[in-house]
C-alpha cells in the first residue's frame, strides 16, 4: 500500500468512526440518543428498546413496507442467540458460584447477628443458670469509631492528565465529577457502605448507565450492592477475572408482569434461593421472584467484549447479543464488570475480606462471659440468700417484704430455722482480667482512647493530634484501601461519560472566584483522536487517559486546630515575609504537611514580587538622584525604613546593610543634602 492509498484508507476510517460516534441525525434526534437506551441498573421495558416510529429499520414496527418501488423483501429475522438452553446453563453456573460462596454467606449472616446483639440468643451461660447472656457493646464501639474515621476522611478527587494536551479536559473532569457524585447522593452511599466494610469486611459498589434518568437522556448511577446478592467464580481474588458475574435481586411479581408483558402467565419460581439475614420484619417469599443480571464475556471480531443478559426463571427480559442496536458493540466499552469491591482485611482465594466483627469476635465472647459471671456474683452479694427449714414458723411473705420492719414468728424461733448462705466474692484478678480483655480488643482493633479524643495529660491541640496520628495507622491504612476503590469507581464513571455523553448537559460548578458557574459538557474531549503523524504517516489513534489523585475532604477538629497552630508558627517565624522568601522556601521544602506545595508556590511568588519591587525602587531612586536629588534622598530613606520594618523578625538591620541591599550609589550632592537635613533636625 502506497502513501496515497494509506491516507485514503485513514480518511475512510475516520469518516466511518464519526458516523458511528453520534454525528448522524435521525428525525432531528442524535443517533447516540437512541444508543443510550440500552440502560444500566435495570433494563427498561421491551417497548423502550424498539427504535422510534419512523426511524425503525425495514421490517420492524414503524418502518417502511416490506416491498416498495421494486425493493427486495426484508431478510428474515435472525434466530435468537439467548435460548432457554443457555439460561439453563447459566443457572447451573449460578448455583455453582453460590455453593462456592456458602461459607462467606454464613459468616455475613452471623456477623449481622453480632451487630444486632442477637449472637447469644438461645445460648445459656456456663454453670447451669437459665439466664441468657446479655452482650456488651465494646465491639460495636470499635465499629462506630472506624465508621467515623471513614466519614471524616471522605475522599475528594483530583484528575491529572497523562499528556499535556489533556490538561484542559482533566480540569473540567475535576470540576464535573463531584457534581455527578452529588447528584447520585454518593455521600449517603459511601456512609452506608462504610458500615458494610467495617462490619462484614467488604464494601461493594456498582457503576451503571441508567437510560431512564434525565427524561430519557440517561446518566451515570452509582449505588451500593449487598454482597449477599453478588456471585462470582470461586477461588478468584479479583472479580474482573471471573468468567461470569451474577447479581440476583428479589422483585415483586406484579411489578415485573407490568414491566415485562412476556412474564404474564409464566411460572417465575426457580429452585434457586437467596440467603436471607435474620431481620425483625418477617419477609414473605411467595410474592417475590428472583431476577438475575448476568454479565459475561464473549469474543467479537477477535476481541473480548462484555455482554449482558437479564432474565427471570427461564424467560429472557433482555439480551445484548440479541439487540440489533448493540451489533458490533460491547455492553460497556471498557470491557469490565460494573462492580468495585473494597475489602478491609483481604483473604486468599476471595475478593471479599473480613471485618472487625470477625477480628474481635473471640475477644468479645470472653468479655461477655466474664462480664456475665462477675455480674451474677455481684448480684449474689447484693441480695443475701438464706437456708430455711420447711417447718419454720417464720412468716415468709413478711420476711421478703423489705418495707415491713416486723416479721411475725409462730412459736419459738430456733437458730436453725433460717441461716444465711455464705457469699464468696470474686477476687480482683477477675475484674482485672476483664479489663485486660477490653484493652486487648481496643489494641487489636486499633480503637484506643486517644483515637476517640481522650488523651490524659495532653491539652494542646497539636499534642492531641500527634497522639491521634500515632494511633490512627490502622484507620489510615483502611482509608487508603477505600481511596483505591474510590479511584476505580471514578475510572468507571469516566468510562461511562466517555461512552454515553454524546449529547451535552449542563453542570453547576464552583468557579475560581467562589461563584457558581454553569458549564456544558459532553464526551468530545474523551473520544479517540488521531495521533500526530510522523513523516506524513499516520501513527494510529490515542485514547485520553487520566490518573486520579485522592485526598481527604474533611478533617477532625484536632487536625484543623493543629494546622492552624502551624500556620501561626510559620507567620511568627517570618516565612510569609517576602524579603525572607528564599529562607522560607527552604524551610517549607523540608517540612511535611497537607497542601505544602500550594503554600510553597505562594511563598515563592511573593518572593519574586518583592525582588521585582526592589529592582523598580532601585531604578526610581537612580533616576530621581540625577534630576531630583532631594526627592531621591527622601525615597531612599523611605525605602530603608520600610526594609527595616519588613526585616524586623530577623533582628535589627543596619542602614549600611540595607544600602547594600538596595545597591543605591550616593553622589556628593546627596551627601551634602543629607548632612544639611541632619543638622537641621538634630541641633547641637
What is the average pLDDT score of the chain? Answer: 76
Q: What band does 569 get if pLDDT is binned at 50, 70 and 90?
A: confident
How does pLDDT run across 106-145, given as a tens digit for each residue?
A: 999 999 988 888 777 655 544 445 566 788 888 898 999 8
What gap in Å lies between CA 204 and CA 228, rounded to an integer? 10
Max avg pLDDT among 95-104, 446-455, 547-556, 573-582: 95-104
Residue of 219 and 540 predicted with greater confidence: 219
Q: What is the pLDDT of residues 415-433, one digit of tens each?
A: 667 777 778 888 889 889 9
Residue 78 has pLDDT above 70, yes or no: no
Residue 667 in domain: yes
The whole-number average pLDDT for the span 274-295 is 84
Q: State how many domains the chain has.
A: 3
Of the ranges 118-122, 359-363, 401-405, 483-487, which one carries the lowest mean pLDDT score?
A: 118-122
Alpha-carbon gap, residue 311 to 292, rounded angstroms: 6
Q: What is the mean pLDDT of residues 237-262?
A: 93
pLDDT at 472: 67
Q: State the average pLDDT over residues 324-336.
A: 88
By mean pLDDT, which of 271-280, 332-341, 603-612, 661-670 is the weakest? 661-670
Q: Is the pLDDT of residue 317 over 80?
A: yes
Please check whether residue 350 lies inside any domain of the structure: no
Rounded Cα distance between 239 and 413, Å, is 81
User: Percent of the chain scored above 90 by pLDDT?
Assistant: 27
Instruction: Decide which of 394 and 189 is more confident.
Output: 189
In a domain, 16, yes or no: yes
> Is the per-residue pLDDT at 391 higher than 80?
no
In this prediction, residues 262-266 reach a mean pLDDT of 88
Q: What is the pLDDT of residues 434-478, one digit of tens each?
A: 889 988 888 888 777 656 655 555 555 556 666 666 566 778 888
Going by pLDDT thresholds of 50, 70 and 90, the confidence category of residue 47 is very low
| Mean pLDDT comparison of 266-275, 555-564, 672-681, highest-scoring range | 266-275
pLDDT (mean) for 354-362: 91
The H helix count followed by the E strand count for the chain is: 20, 20
- Give yes or no for residue 657 having a pLDDT over 60: no
Residue listed under C-alpha cell 483522536: 529
Residue 339 lies in a domain: no
Helices (H), 66-101: 84-100
Q: How confident is the model at residue 637 (pLDDT cuts 50, 70, 90)?
A: confident
Query: Residue 403 has what pLDDT?
Result: 80
What share of the chain in percent tops pLDDT 70?
72
pLDDT reading at 16 higher than 50: no
Q: Distance (Å, rounded) from C-alpha 662 to C-alpha 656?
A: 10
Using CA atoms, how far apart are residues 29 and 22, in angstroms rounded to an integer?
Answer: 10
In a domain, 128, yes or no: no
Closest among 293, 311, 312 to 248, alpha carbons compared: 293
| Residue 406 resides in a domain | yes
* Residue 11 scores a pLDDT above 60: no
- Region 136-163: mean pLDDT is 88
Kindly state the average pLDDT of the residues 578-595: 78
Give the pLDDT band of residue 648 (cuts 50, 70, 90): low
Among 55-59, 69-73, 261-265, 537-541, the least confident range: 55-59
Q: List the single range of 58-72, 85-99, 654-668 with lowest mean pLDDT.
A: 58-72
Alpha-carbon gap, residue 366 to 118, rounded angstroms: 16
419-426: long-range contacts at Cβ-Cβ below 8 A with a sequence spacing of 24 or more?
Answer: 419/386, 419/387, 419/388, 420/384, 420/385, 420/386, 420/387, 421/384, 421/385, 421/386, 421/387, 423/380, 423/381, 423/384, 423/385, 425/377, 425/381, 426/373, 426/374, 426/377
Question: Which has the minimum average pLDDT: 17-21, 126-130, 189-193?
Answer: 17-21
Own/partner long-range contacts of 78-81 (Cβ < 8 Å, ≥24 apart): 80/316, 80/319, 80/322, 81/319, 81/321, 81/322
Has residue 59 got a pLDDT over 50?
no
> Would you say residue 592 lies in a domain?
yes
Model confidence at 251: pLDDT above 60: yes
In angstroms, rounded to a whole number, what is the distance separating the alpha carbons of residues 363 and 345?
A: 18
| Whether residue 200 has pLDDT greater than 80 | yes
Tell me: pLDDT of 36 over 60.
Answer: no
Residue 368 above 70 pLDDT? Answer: yes
Write down which residue in 376, 404, 420 finishes a domain.
420
Tell me what pLDDT residue 671 has: 56
Assigned C-alpha cell, 571: 507567620
pLDDT, mean of residues 296-304:
81
pLDDT at 389 over 80: no
Q: How far apart are CA 378 and CA 371, in angstroms?
A: 10
Domain that holds residue 10: 3-38
Residue 11 lies in a domain: yes
Amino acid at each position: 500500500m502506497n502513501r496515497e492509498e494509506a491516507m485514503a484508507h485513514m480518511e475512510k476510517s475516520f469518516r466511518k468512526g464519526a458516523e458511528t460516534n453520534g454525528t448522524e441525525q435521525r428525525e432531528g434526534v442524535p443517533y447516540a440518543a437512541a444508543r443510550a437506551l440500552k440502560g444500566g441498573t435495570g433494563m427498561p421495558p421491551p417497548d423502550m428498546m424498539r427504535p422510534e416510529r419512523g426511524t425503525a429499520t425495514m421490517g420492524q414496527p414503524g418502518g417502511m413496507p416490506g416491498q416498495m418501488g421494486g425493493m427486495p423483501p426484508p431478510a428474515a429475522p435472525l434466530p435468537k442467540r439467548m435460548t432457554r438452553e443457555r439460561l439453563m446453563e447459566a443457572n447451573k453456573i449460578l448455583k455453582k458460584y453460590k455453593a462456592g460462596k456458602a461459607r462467606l454467606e454464613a459468616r455475613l449472616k452471623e456477623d449481622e447477628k453480632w451487630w444486632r446483639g442477637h449472637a447469644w440468643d438461645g445460648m445459656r451461660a456456663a454453670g447451669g443458670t437459665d439466664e441468657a447472656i446479655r452482650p456488651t457493646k465494646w465491639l460495636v464501639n470499635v465499629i462506630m469509631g472506624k465508621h467515623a474515621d471513614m466519614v471524616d476522611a471522605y475522599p475528594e478527587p483530583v484528575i491529572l492528565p497523562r499528556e499535556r494536551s489533556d490538561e484542559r479536559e482533566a480540569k473540567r473532569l475535576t470540576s464535573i465529577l463531584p457534581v455527578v457524585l452529588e447528584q447520585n447522593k454518593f455521600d449517603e452511599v459511601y456512609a452506608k457502605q462504610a458500615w458494610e466494610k467495617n462490619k462484614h469486611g467488604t464494601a461493594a459498589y456498582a457503576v451503571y448507565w441508567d437510560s431512564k434518568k434525565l427524561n430519557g437522556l440517561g446518566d451515570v448511577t452509582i449505588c451500593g450492592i449487598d454482597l449477599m446478592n453478588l456471585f462470582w467464580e470461586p477461588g478468584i481474588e479479583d472479580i474482573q477475572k471471573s468468567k461470569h458475574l451474577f447479581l440476583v435481586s428479589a422483585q415483586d411479581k406484579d411489578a415485573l408482569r407490568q414491566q415485562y408483558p412476556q412474564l404474564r402467565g409464566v411460572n417465575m419460581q426457580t429452585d434457586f434461593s437467596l440467603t436471607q439475614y435474620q431481620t425483625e420484619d418477617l419477609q414473605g417469599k411467595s410474592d417475590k421472584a428472583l431476577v438475575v443480571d448476568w454479565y459475561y464475556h464473549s469474543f467479537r471480531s477477535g476481541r473480548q467484549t462484555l455482554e449482558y443478559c437479564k432474565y427471570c426463571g427461564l424467560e429472557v427480559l433482555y439480551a445484548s447479543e440479541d439487540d440489533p442496536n448493540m451489533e458490533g458493540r460491547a455492553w460497556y466499552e471498557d470491557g469490565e464488570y460494573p462492580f468495585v469491591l473494597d475489602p478491609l482485611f483481604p483473604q486468599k482465594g476471595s475478593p471479599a475480606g473480613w471485618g472487625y466483627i470477625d477480628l474481635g469476635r473471640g475477644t468479645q465472647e470472653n468479655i461477655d462471659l466474664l462480664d456475665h459471671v462477675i455480674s451474677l456474683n455481684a448480684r449474689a452479694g447484693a441480695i443475701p440468700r438464706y437456708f430455711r427449714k420447711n417447718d419454720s414458723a417464720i412468716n415468709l411473705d413478711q420476711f421478703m417484704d423489705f418495707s415491713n420492719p416486723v416479721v411475725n414468728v409462730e412459736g419459738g424461733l430456733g437458730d436453725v430455722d433460717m441461716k444465711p448462705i455464705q457469699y464468696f466474692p470474686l477476687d480482683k484478678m477477675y475484674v482485672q482480667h476483664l479489663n485486660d480483655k477490653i484493652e486487648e480488643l481496643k489494641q487489636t482493633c486499633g480503637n484506643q482512647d486517644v483515637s476517640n479524643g481522650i488523651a490524659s495529660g495532653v491539652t494542646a491541640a497539636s499534642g492531641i493530634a500527634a497522639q491521634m496520628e500515632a494511633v490512627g495507622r490502622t484507620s489510615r491504612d483502611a482509608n487508603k484501601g477505600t481511596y483505591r476503590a474510590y479511584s476505580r469507581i471514578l475510572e468507571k464513571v469516566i468510562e461511562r461519560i466517555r461512552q454515553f455523553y454524546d449529547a451535552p448537559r449542563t453542570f453547576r460548578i464552583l468557579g475560581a472566584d467562589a461563584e457558581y458557574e454553569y458549564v456544558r459538557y459532553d464526551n468530545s474531549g474523551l473520544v479517540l483522536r488521531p495521533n500526530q503523524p510522523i513523516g506524513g504517516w499516520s501513527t494510529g489513534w490515542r485514547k485520553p487517559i487520566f490518573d486520579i489523585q485522592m485526598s481527604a475532604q474533611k478533617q477532625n477538629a484536632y487536625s484543623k486546630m493543629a494546622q492552624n497552630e502551624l500556620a501561626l508558627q510559620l507567620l511568627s517565624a517570618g516565612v510569609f515575609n517576602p524579603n525572607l522568601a528564599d529562607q522560607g522556601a527552604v524551610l517549607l521544602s523540608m517540612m511535611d504537611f497537607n497542601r505544602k506545595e500550594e503554600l510553597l508556590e505562594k511563598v515563592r511568588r511573593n518572593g519574586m514580587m518583592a525582588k521585582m519591587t526592589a529592582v523598580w525602587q532601585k531604578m526610581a531612586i537612580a533616576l530621581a538622584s540625577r534630576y531630583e536629588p532631594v526627592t531621591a534622598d527622601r525615597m531612599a530613606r523611605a525605602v530603608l525604613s520600610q526594609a527595616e520594618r519588613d526585616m524586623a523578625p530577623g533582628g535589627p538591620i543596619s542602614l549600611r546593610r540595607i544600602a547594600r541591599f538596595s545597591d543605591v550609589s550616593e553622589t556628593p550632592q546627596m551627601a551634602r543634602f543629607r548632612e544639611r537635613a541632619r543638622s537641621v533636625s538634630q541641633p547641637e
